[in-house]
């Protein structure tokens, strides 16, 4: 794990922000996140093209707010943004490693989880940041190395709770923090909290938008 202190801030749905040494990295500022959740970022990572993870207006606002900000994304996203921000949008894929605003990033995964056999699968990547925080996007990708904090997609059209629990078990993080939770009602949250916490084998928690946690 990187020695510098790291702060994680949960944003809405699948968007998170990481801060370290005065630099900020934001992952998946999509249409379900706040309008300004990417503003102030020095680096932005996008896992895939679905609108709850990728919102062009939010990304443009962040890039215009900070002329030094850069984006890393798979080709389906990068091709849409690169013409407007030459040299500031980078295409990545499984197995790539790079440095973004002082954060060390590894790319894992290739495809979105199956929603339905009749729906073609799109590309999706996950990001392991500073060897510590793993955000899988819309897939249950196992990074194949120890993970301190797993950002856990708890409610989606493509998963069920048994798969979520088994995913936590397979990755084996120190803690799992909920993302992809905008579709999960307050009525159902205690059921998910209880079952994932009891059966996942890792510390499990959910954070409210704007809540922080350190490392």
Q: What is the CA radius of gyration of the chain?
A: 16
Span 4-33, pLDDT tens digits: 889 999 999 999 999 999 999 999 999 999
Q: How many structural domains compose the chain? A: 1
pLDDT attached to residue 25: 98
87 pLDDT band, cuts 50/70/90, is very high
Neighbours of 141 (CB within 10 A): 23
Range of the domain at 190: 7-214
CA distance 66 to 98: 20
Phi and psi torsions of 127, nearest 5°? -125, 125
- C-alpha dihedral over 30, 41, 148, 94, to 10 degrees? 70
Residue 131 lies in a domain: yes
Q: Is pLDDT above 70 for 1?
A: no
| Number of residues that make up the chain | 215
Give the whole-number percent of the chain exceeding pLDDT 90. 97
Span 34-76, pLDDT tens digits: 999 999 999 999 999 999 999 999 999 999 999 999 999 999 9
Cβ-count burial 93-126 (b if 16+ within 10 Å, e if not)? ebeeeeebbebebbbbbbebbebeeeeeeebbbb
Residue 2 lies in a domain: no
pLDDT attached to residue 4: 82
The CATH number given to whatever domain includes residue 77 is 3.60.15.10
Residue 79 lies in a domain: yes
Mean of per-residue pLDDT scores for the chain = 96
Give the whole-number percent of the chain exceeding pLDDT 70. 99
- How much of the chain is helix, strand and coil, in % rounded to 5? 20, 30, 55
Residue 193's closest CA among 167, 165, 214?
165
Q: Three-state SS for 32?
A: coil
Span 129-169, pLDDT tens digits: 999 999 999 999 999 999 999 999 999 999 999 999 999 99
CA atoms within 13 A on the CB side of 158: 19
pLDDT attached to residue 3: 66
Q: What is the DSSP letter of 205?
A: E
Please provide the DSSP assignment of 85-150 as one string: STTTEEE--TT-EEEETTEEEEEE--BPPPS-TTSPPPB--EEEETTTEEE--SS----SS--SEE
Span 176-210, pLDDT tens digits: 999 999 999 999 999 999 999 999 999 999 999 99
Residue 19 lies in a domain: yes
């Amino acid at each position: 794990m990187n020695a510098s202190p790291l702060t994680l801030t949960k944003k809405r749905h699948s968007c998170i922000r990481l801060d370290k040494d005065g630099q900020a990295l934001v992952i998946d500022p999509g249409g379900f996140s706040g309008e300004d959740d990417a503003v102030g970022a020095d680096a932005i990572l996008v896992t895939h093209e679905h609108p709850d993870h990728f919102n062009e207006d939010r990304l443009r606002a962040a890039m215009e707010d900070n002329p030094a900000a850069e984006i890393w994304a798979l080709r389906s996203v990068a091709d849409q943004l690169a013409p407007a921000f030459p040299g500031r949008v980078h295409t990545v894929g499984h197995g790539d490693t790079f440095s973004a605003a002082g954060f060390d990033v590894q790319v894992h995964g290739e495809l979105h989880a199956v929603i339905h056999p009749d729906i073609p699968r799109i590309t999706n990547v996950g990001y392991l940041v500073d060897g510590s925080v793993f955000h899988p996007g819309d897939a249950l990708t196992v990074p194949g190395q120890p993970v301190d904090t797993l950002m856990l997609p708890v409610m989606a059209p493509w998963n069920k709770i048994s798969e979520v629990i088994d995913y936590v078990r397979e990755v084996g993080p120190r803690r799992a923090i909920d993302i992809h939770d905008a579709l999960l009602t307050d009525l159902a949250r205690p059921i998910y909290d209880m079952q994932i916490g009891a059966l996942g084998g890792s510390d499990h928690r959910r954070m409210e938008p704007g809540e922080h946690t350190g490392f």
